[in-house]
Amino acid sequence: MATPAPQLGFREVLRIRAVRRLWVAQLVSIFGDFLAVFAVLSVVTFQLHGTPTQVSMLLVAFLTPLAVVSPLAGVFVDQWTMIASDLARGVLVLTLLFVRDLNAIYATFFALSTISSFFVPAQSVAVRTLAPAAGLMAVNALMSQAVQGMQIISPALAGLLVQGLGANSCFLFDSFSFFFSAGMVMTLAIHRERTPGAHGAAAAGSILSALQQGFRFIFGHAAISFVMLSMSSGMFAVRCFGALLSVYVRDVLAANVTLFGTLNSLIGIGMIAGTQSLHRFARSASHQHLVIYGLGGMGAAVFVTAVFGRVASTAVGMLGLGFSAAFIMIPSQTLLQRETPHELLGRVSSSAMSLMAFSQVLAMFVAGPVAQKAGIRNLYFGSAAMLAEPSQLSRVSH
């Protein structure tokens, strides 16, 4: 049996020029994306004084294409798809400089998200092509850390920029980030191996069939189905909470966009802390129980946020929310990778992502109207109760 090749570390893969350029493009682009998303939420919430329904519909417009288009977009991607996607998004973001009509903002966000649905799978292909097999884990970790790092830095900075220079400064930087990313991708040599006949409608039909196979495996496996259903209900509850955090900051905390950005940054800090602590709990708990603990922790964080209605308690709640999220994301991904046969892994992963995305979109359709009728704090109490429910199911099932 051949000895497995030693895994490359961060320094080794960053010495590869193409990988380094793709990573830098990712850093700049994600940073710009976070700036723009938080700037738009800030405009709709604090400048246009949007209702809870109007704010939640903004995220519906942004996430719906990711739920519907992403599973099908992978058959059409290559290097030029990435470049065209960056250029088109760079132009689209510029329209936000002049738009303050809600329907136009919804349409722009829907278009941006649709185009992004083609970029993400293309980037995955690029990583697989540019990185050596022994360096794939390190490159994927670098890409993941880029998202986590920007999730900490961008919201707080976006709040300061919107407060000091206005939302347009964020839109301008996001547009620049897309053009910068396109320029970096143009310098790369990315060659994708194509499967004969894997194009057009036939390929799309093949992916739909693969999604069906993935769902059949998920719901036929007791541990995975329990975790996926728990996560779906949990993501539904979390989105009911998170979609209207800006409205909570405005109406309950009577604060401004700067605090809104800071609170979102605290979620990222909590997530990193949870990731570092997870291995201690994993020694004595199954993956299913770790997910349940994470959902329960999220429920407690949402409850603390809602019951006190103070800045300090909300900050504690955001840290707890991020900390608990690590107990859901990492064990669930590990369980899927461990229990799913290799030939089904891609199909099961796509089906799981689709399930999570649809639960979040559904939550945002519910959250806005409920918050307007019952009040946002009552919505948060309901979210906390839903997050606690899977732990009750766990006791019954065990």
By C-alpha distance, which of 362, 332, 359 is closest to 348? 332
Contact residues for 313 (Cβ-Cβ < 8 A; gap 6+): 304, 305, 307
In terms of Cβ atoms closer than 10 Å to its own Cβ (0-12, 13-18, 19+), residue 133 is exposed
Distances in whole angstroms, Cα of residue 317 to Cα of each of 35, 139, 321, 344: 23, 32, 6, 38
Buried b (16+ CB within 10 A) or exposed e, 175-203: bebbbbbbebbeebebeeeeeeeeeeeeb
Q: Which domain holds residue 277?
A: 203-398
Contact residues for 372 (Cβ-Cβ < 8 A; gap 6+): 51, 52, 53
pLDDT for 359: 83
The encoded tokens of residue 157 equal: 């900075």
Q: Which of 169, 193, 217 corresponds to the end of one domain?
A: 193
State the average pLDDT over residues 21-49. Answer: 84
The CA distance from 208 to 206, in Å, is 5
Residue 347 has pLDDT above 70, yes or no: no
Higher pLDDT, 203 or 171: 171
Q: Is 23 within the bounds of a domain?
A: yes
The encoded tokens of residue 298 equal: 């999220």
Q: Which of 193, 212, 242 corresponds to the end of one domain?
A: 193
Residues 124 and 84 in one domain: yes
pLDDT digits (tens, 9 = 90+) for 14-28: 788 887 888 888 788
Residues 348 and 218 in one domain: yes
Q: Is 7 within the bounds of a domain?
A: no
The CA distance from 169 to 100, in Å, is 15
- What is the CATH classification number for the domain harbouring 322? 1.20.1250.20
Q: Which of 136, 163, 193 corresponds to the end of one domain?
A: 193
State the average pLDDT over residues 142-148. Answer: 72
The CA distance from 73 to 82, in Å, is 12
Residue 199 has pLDDT above 60, yes or no: no
pLDDT digits (tens, 9 = 90+) for 288-319: 788 888 888 989 999 999 999 899 999 999 99
